[in-house]
Structure 1
């Protein structure tokens, strides 16, 4: 089954944090793993031409926070970084091993980075326009 759709993703404050608006609609195969489970389930349940809203619980989105992806590093590992501050993002590794981490805390003991997806632990609200559904 293939879906073609536009979407608007809102955070808990109602702000749009991601959208296909202004670009091409997404065209994805069922089971591709490129969208969260809860959104795929909603697409399966609707018909081409439907416009709908779906609230995807975190368990069917990016899941709960994984504490093992939150790590403290010594300050010395960031000596080359100018104006290190909370919220900065870095890519670690290369190719298949590449990972984006976010600085979440800095103190005299070190720097805590979080490699969880930015939307982990959150329920996600999507507005969807299902353009076509084939197969």
Structure 2
């Protein structure tokens, strides 16, 4: 009987990850396979649950809802700050990523989503937050 992937197994996967409009957000193939130990929280739990029970060389299309991936886009993760808080020589434009240090010492990378003469709007959501993700996945091997 052929072995099925189970928690604790090290598995090699290949996948192409796409969002709703078909755009590819990530992939790994024969040249760049991903090694995952099932049960170690190395990938989304919902994706891991779909891999458990697969057999070697099995291919599956797996839809992971936004809530089970990077979560919803949260307005709490956006902020508007005064433009004058940035050094005058610093180019602040839409699409630029900035490392922002908060009062508690935490530093987060945020994306500039809007700029005018008075304010800069920053977004700290993950770029894939709010999006359902589809993985065209092949379980290439089960190592243990």
TM-score (norm 1): 0.84
Q: Is the contact made by 1:86 and 1:103 (CA closer than 8 Å) also made in structure 2?
A: yes
Match of 1:122 among 122, 127, 131: 131
* Alignment CA distance shift 1:104-1:31 (3 Å): farther
* Alignment CA distance shift 1:87-1:20 (3 Å): same
Q: Matched residues in 2 for 1:21 and 1:77: separation?
A: 44
For the pair 1:53 / 2:61, whether they are aligned, the reply is yes
Q: CA RMSD in A?
A: 2.2
Aligned residues: 132
* Alignment CA distance shift 1:124-1:98 (3 Å): same
Larger-gyration structure (1/2)? 2
Counterpart for residue 132 of structure 1: 141
For the pair 1:20 / 2:28, whether they are aligned, the reply is yes
Q: Is the contact made by 1:56 and 1:125 (CA closer than 8 Å) also made in structure 2?
A: yes
Which stretch shifts more, 32-41 or 57-66? 32-41
Runs of 5+ in structure 2 lacking a partner?
A: 1-7
TM-score (norm 2): 0.79
Residues 12-58 of structure 1: CA deviation (Å, up to 9, x unaligned):
11121211136421111223333222211111142221111111111
* Alignment CA distance shift 1:32-1:99 (3 Å): farther
* Alignment CA distance shift 1:28-1:59 (3 Å): same
Runs of 5+ in structure 1 lacking a partner?
A: none
Residues 77-135 of structure 1: CA deviation (Å, up to 9, x unaligned):
233322x2211112335xxx443211112234411111111100110011111112355
Q: Is the contact made by 1:3 and 1:27 (CA closer than 8 Å) also made in structure 2?
A: yes
* Alignment CA distance shift 1:72-1:26 (3 Å): same
